[in-house]
């Protein structure tokens, strides 16, 4: 089987993007894998620090690799938004395929320092672990926001992106190009595809779009055409899970079998993931 690096390179060459979806339970994992397998496209499973704590790092690794080995399928595991070297190191040591050191809230110099530390450690293992980092404002929190947060329009500067990558040696880069983590009640973020293209031309490494939930289809397609190779989705599937379970319980108040209560959540997530993967892989 090809490595994640090879699949990302292939996505770049084809002008498509790999879908990245977060999990904190078995239902979401089944739903995401079902959708990816139906379309025969690679997929990345992400665990933030909170999701990792809830699910268990060893348990998550075991589940993903059980599927990968049993199905001989390109499903990969990413440490999403980890904020310390120790947490990144733990995931690298566990065998994750990629890690994201999130130093976006730090100063430029501090972000460079911790990112370089993670890159150096990943290289020292002899494994092909992809290291991603962020620069710029993408916001935080997988929640429903009343409006687009102040500061969302501050995009990553091309010259800063180039300097950051030259100084850290990262494999993938997540710039601020208009998206925001979470879902927005009023209005939708807009991706600056021109800025994406400018950064891609300057840095020459794969770009990652965070905060993809709730974006318009055209924002995704324009961003991918401009140079995005991986797209992160989380809030959309969390909301689908919540609404599906609530609806089922309301209609079946005497049901207590978890498998029956949670199946609608699996179905709802699978539907969203399939639609997103079709869009990202130009299969519509």
pLDDT in tens, 79-122: 999 999 999 999 999 999 999 999 988 999 999 999 999 999 99
Domains of the chain: 4-280 (3.20.20.70)
What pLDDT digit, counting tens, does each position of 233-242 carry? 998 999 999 9
Among 80, 97, 171, 192, the one annotated catalytic: 80
Q: Is the pLDDT of residue 226 over 80?
A: yes
Query: What pLDDT does 190 receive?
Result: 76
Task: Check pLDDT > 90 for residue 146.
Answer: no
- Average pLDDT taken over every residue of the chain: 91
pLDDT band for position 257 (50/70/90)? Answer: very high
Assigned token pair, 25: 């339970």
Alpha helix ranges (H) inside 125-234: 158-168, 193-203, 217-226
By percentage, how much of the chain surpasses pLDDT 70? 90
Mean pLDDT of 8-20: 97
Q: Is the pLDDT of residue 29 over 90?
A: yes
Whether 189 shows a pLDDT value over 80: the answer reads: no
Radius of gyration of the chain (CA): 18
Whether the pLDDT of residue 231 is over 90: the answer is: yes
pLDDT score recorded for residue 235: 87
Residue 143 pLDDT grade (very low, low, confident, very high; cuts 50, 70, 90): low
Position with higher pLDDT, 188 vs 166: 166
pLDDT at 253: 94
Per DSSP, helices labelled H in 125-257 are 158-168, 193-203, 217-226, 235-251
Verify whether residue 166 is a known catalytic residue.
no
CA distance 113 to 42: 32
pLDDT at 148: 60
Segment 164-183, tens digit of pLDDT:
999 999 999 999 886 665 44
Closest of 274, 281, 283 to residue 15, by C-alpha: 281
What is the residue-wise DSSP string for 14-79?
Answer: HT--EEEEE-SSHHHHHHHHHHHHHHT--EEEEE-HHHHHHH-HHHHHHHHHHHHHHHT--EEEEE
Closest CA to 23 of 78, 87, 73, 101: 78
d(CA 50, CA 280): 27
Name the burial class of residue 2, with classes exposed (0-12), middle (13-18) and buried (19+) by CB atoms within 10 angstroms of its CB: exposed
- Residue 241 CB contacts under 8 Å (≥ 6 apart), including other chains: 27, 28, 265, 268, 269
Give the span between the Cα atoms of 6 and 239, in whole angstroms: 32
Residue 1 has pLDDT above 90, yes or no: no
């Amino acid at each position: 089987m090809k490595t994640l690096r090879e699949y990302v390179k292939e996505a770049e060459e084809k002008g498509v993007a790999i879908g990245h979806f977060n999990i904190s339970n078995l239902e979401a994992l089944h739903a995401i894998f079902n959708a990816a397998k139906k379309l025969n496209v690679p997929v990345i499973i992400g665990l933030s620090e909170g999701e990792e704590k809830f699910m268990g790092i060893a348990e998550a690794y075991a589940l993903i690799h059980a599927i990968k080995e049993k199905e001989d399928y390109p499903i990969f595991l990413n440490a999403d938004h980890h904020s310390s070297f120790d947490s990144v190191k733990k995931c690298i040591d566990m065998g994750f395929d990629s890690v994201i050191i999130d130093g976006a809230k730090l100063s430029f110099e501090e972000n460079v320092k911790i990112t370089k530390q993670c890159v150096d450690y990943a290289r020292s293992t002899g494994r092909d672990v992809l290291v991603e980092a962020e620069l710029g404002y993408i916001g935080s929190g997988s929640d429903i926001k009343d409006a687009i947060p102040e500061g969302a329009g501050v995009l990553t500067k091309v010259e800063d992106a180039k300097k950051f990558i030259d100084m850290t040696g990262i494999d993938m880069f997540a710039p601020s190009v208009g998206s925001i983590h979470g879902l927005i009640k009023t209005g939708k973020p807009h991706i600056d595809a021109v800025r994406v293209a400018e950064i891609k031309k300057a840095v020459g490494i794969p770009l990652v779009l965070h905060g993809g939930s709730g974006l318009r289809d055209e924002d995704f397609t324009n961003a991918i055409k401009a140079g995005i190779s991986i797209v992160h989705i989380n809030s959309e599937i969390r909301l689908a899970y919540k609404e599906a379970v609530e609806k089922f319980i309301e209609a079946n108040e005497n049901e207590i079998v978890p498998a029956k209560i949670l199946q609608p959540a699996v179905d709802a997530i699978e539907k969203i993931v399939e639609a997103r993967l079709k869009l990202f892989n130009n299969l519509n």
